[in-house]
Every structure is written in C-alpha cells, then in structure tokens.
Amino acid sequence: MSKPPVTDPRRRIPRTDTLLALPAVSDARVRLGDNAIRDIIRRTQDSARRGDTPPEDVERIIVESVSGSYASSSRAVLNATGVVVHTNLGRAPLSPAALDAVVAASGYVDVELDLETGARSKRGATTRAALLRACPAAGDALMVNNGAAALVLATTALAAGRAVVISRGEMIEIGAGFRLTELIASTGARLYEVGTTNRTHAHDYADALTSDDVGAILKVHPSNFRVEGFTSETSLAELRTLGRAYGVPVVADIGSGLLQPDPLLPDEPDATTTLDSGADLVIASGDKLLGGPQAGLLFGDAALVQRLAKHPLARAVRADKLALAAMEATVGGPRPPVWNHLHADPGALRVRAESLGAAVGFPVVAHDGRVGGGGAPGVPLPGWAIRLPVATAARLRLGEPAVLPRVHDDACLVDLRCVPEADDPRVLAAIRRALDEP
C-alpha cells in the first residue's frame, strides 16, 4: 500500500511575479516604487516560509500593506492637545494656499529666472517682496532655512572674532538642550555678558561698548519662561541710542515670528514694532506664529541685510524653492491655520466638544490651550476638552487617524482647537475605536 505524498506548505506561497501582478500592488508601485514593493513582498513571503504566516494569507497581507504604505514614513496627526505651535508635530501647519504653492514649485520653477528676459534673476525675489509688503518697516528682508541659521549668519557676518554684547537674563536655552549662547560662540564670536539674570541697565551695555572689539548688541526675547518681580531691562530705544553712539548694530531676536502686533498677545514682540523701537536687524522664525514653513527671517536696515546676504555663509543656509514658495503664499495669501487656531471662538469650541462628548457619553471640561513653540509663555487660550479615561490616550495616538490628545490630571483630554471642524467625524470615530479596545 503506497503512502500519501507529503505536501510542503511552503509550496502554497504565491510566487513573486504573481504578487506583483495583483492590481492593488501594481497601482501601488507608482506611489511606493519597485524597491519598497519588493521589500514588502519579500518580508511577507519570508514570514510564511518560517511558518509565522499561513500561505493563504500572504496575498491579503501584501494588499493591505501596500494600500496603507507611503513613500514617506511620516504620519499625519490630528493635534488635539490645544497647543497651537506644537514643535513635536512640526510646528505650524501650512495653509491651503501655501500647500498649492509648494506643489507648483515642486517641479521646474522660475526661482532664479526672469521669464520675460530669459536672464538669471535674484533668488526668491518675489518672496522678498511679499515679506517687505507684510513688514513695510523693514528696509530689506532675507529668508534662510531656519531661525538658528539666521542667528548664525547675523553673528558670523557682524561679529566673528569680535564680541556680542548680551544680557545675562537673555542667555536662554530652549527645547532639546539648544542654547543660543553656544550657537553664538560656535561662530567664532565672543560673548560679552552684561547685567544680571533679573536686571540689566543701559549703563551695563554702555560699559561694554567702550571696547573697540564689539560687533553687535544682541537682544533676545525670552522663550518658554517669564521673569517676574524685581526686574528691569534696557529698552530698544536706549540700545539704539547706544548703538548709534558707538557704531554698533542692534540685533533683536524676537523668536516666534509675528510681523505685526496681535491684540491677543500684547506682550509678544513683533517685527514691525521691534524695528520701529530701535532694532537695526530683527530675526524671526517662519514656522511659528507667522504660520509658514520652517525658515529664518531677517528684517532691517537695507545695507545691513545686504551685508548678510553677500556673506559666503548665506549660500550654505539659503532657503529652498519649496520654502520660498510656501512663505510667499503665507504672507501674501489668506490667514494661515495658526491664526485661526489662536483666535478660535471658545463658545464654538464648546459646542463642538459637547457634541462629540455626548456622542460617546463622556463629559466636557474647561481647558486652556497654549501658543507653544516658545511664543507667549504663560498666556492661556480658553477652550474646552472632552475628558476621557487616561488609557485611551495611547490608543488614540496609535489609531488611524493618529490623534494626539493631552494627558493631564490622570485623564485623556481631547481639545479641538487645532482640529479642523471638518475632521470632527474622524476624531469621533477614533475616540469610539479607542474606547471599544480592551
């Protein structure tokens, strides 16, 4: 009597060419590329060969994998923290106008070309013009790739090998251990510290300026903290008088990037007021309160800005065509999402939160949002949040879509301030799934 043939289950694993021919896989090759597709197929086949995956499931797993995969591993996140400029989420979300500009600039674009004459033109000229329209107090403007680069360029061009005068109360450290003083020192400039942590007077700066080796006076807006009580600082008007007397430029790093005053944030400096108050050069970030792409912006005296623009380092830190296009659309187009989130109506936020809270049977509580990104430290943004069990926070983060709530007071708080209203149904669905998980 003959024995039945032994069938190796690995023989049932679909062939690579068969899997590549699946319609879903074929469609995904355009989005992911051949290498990524073959890696997904190879990993799934190897899992089946090890016995971890049934051969009959290989095709389904591959179709699901390619359908949910993208060439970039970055995941879109719904920001339900109430923090408007969230550094861990990439700071400012771009406006639809800026997104359209980025897409248009992603191919060949006239970033350094005058189409009328066919000759080479100045890089980013239209973005520069848009920035000057948005901040007419400036004689000229320059955009580089981030705020730290703007400070490095200014310090290098004005004070490499010389001293930068700075108040001890403004020698700040921001996120991830980043210290402005170390950045300045890396340019070859020497820090000349004046005053104390809480009080710095005009005569402190005047004493430092008696040296012939000073390249710049630097005034830095404190980020992420406030000094209260027995304090005093030297005004920009006083520094301008001293700077003129000693022939030293006054550089003000305002940080968060307002170009004009915002009544909601009365203590937050803006570029226009800072220039009018006495700064020769203002440094700001593009992806914070301005609501644009990552960028370092320099506004000020035309001769001073041109001096920086012509420095060799300017080439190394210049902005790319995508950022230039996004910035032009941000300052020249409709208000960006950051502005809308900052100025969201608390009453409307409550209505939205109560609608979602009622749908899942959980309460809504008062919740103050924050500006974030070093802007307006301590300023509350009144709003509301759905209070959920703390265990749902991780499930929301790992779900689809990914929703980032705030974990506070042993609760998961879902604040809709920075969530577009059109996405409320997606948040509701995500909450329901998170609550249903064991």
Point out the least confidently predicted range of 71-85, 162-176, 303-317: 162-176
pLDDT value of position 378: 81
Q: Could you tell me how many residues make up the chain? A: 438
Backbone angles phi, psi at 431, to 5 degrees: -65, -45
pLDDT tens-digit profile of 290-314?
A: 999 999 999 999 999 999 999 999 9
120 has a pLDDT exceeding 60 = yes
CA–CA separation, 111 and 437 (whole Å):
51
pLDDT tens-digit profile of 220-254?
A: 987 666 777 777 889 999 999 999 999 999 999 99
Q: What Å distances lie between residue 357 and 345, 384, 428, CA to CA?
A: 18, 11, 9
Q: Is 218 left (phi over 0), alpha (psi -120 to 50) or beta?
A: beta
**397, 428 Cβ separation under 8 angstroms:** no
**Mean of per-residue pLDDT scores for the chain:** 92
Read off the tokens for 33: 């590329």
pLDDT tens-digit profile of 12-24?
A: 999 999 999 999 9
Task: Quote the pTM value.
Answer: 0.87
CA–CA separation, 59 and 78 (whole Å):
32
**155, 192 Cβ separation under 8 angstroms:** no
pLDDT value of position 337: 97
DSSP tag of 318: B
Specify burial of residue 201 (Cβ count, 10 A radius: 0-12, 13-18, 19+): middle
- Domains annotated on the chain, with CATH: 9-67 (no CATH), 77-87+340-436 (3.90.1150.180), 95-334 (3.40.640.10)
Amino acid type, 399: G
Rg, C-alpha atoms of the chain: 27
Instruction: Please report where in the chains the tokens 């709003």 appear, as a residue.
Output: 383
Confidence of residue 2 (pLDDT cuts 50, 70, 90): low
Q: What Å distances lie between residue 424 and 356, 361, 393, 428, CA to CA?
A: 8, 16, 17, 6
Edge-to-edge order in the sheet of strand 402-408: 77-80, 402-408, 411-415, 381-389, 364-369
DSSP tag of 336: P
pLDDT value of position 373: 86
Helix (H) or strand (E) holding 77: strand 77-80
Mean pLDDT of 207-215: 90
pLDDT value of position 6: 52
Read off the tokens for 235: 């005004």
**89, 402 Cβ separation under 8 angstroms:** no
User: For the packed helices 202-209 and 236-246, what is the interaxial angle rounded to 10 degrees?
Assistant: 20
Kindly give the pairing relationship between strand 163-167 and strand 214-220.
parallel
Q: 200: helix, coil or strand? A: coil
pLDDT value of position 422: 97
126 has a pLDDT exceeding 60 = yes
CA–CA separation, 339 and 295 (whole Å):
18
11 has a pLDDT exceeding 90 = no
pLDDT value of position 340: 97
Q: ∠24-25-27 over CA atoms, to 5°?
A: 65
pLDDT tens-digit profile of 325-379?
A: 999 999 999 999 999 999 999 999 999 999 999 999 999 999 999 999 888 888 8
Mean pLDDT of 51-59: 92
CA–CA separation, 172 and 223 (whole Å):
7
pLDDT tens-digit profile of 91-100?
A: 999 999 999 9
**416, 429 Cβ separation under 8 angstroms:** no
Q: What sign has the CA pseudo-torsion 418, 87, 166, 171?
A: positive
Mean pLDDT of 313-318: 96
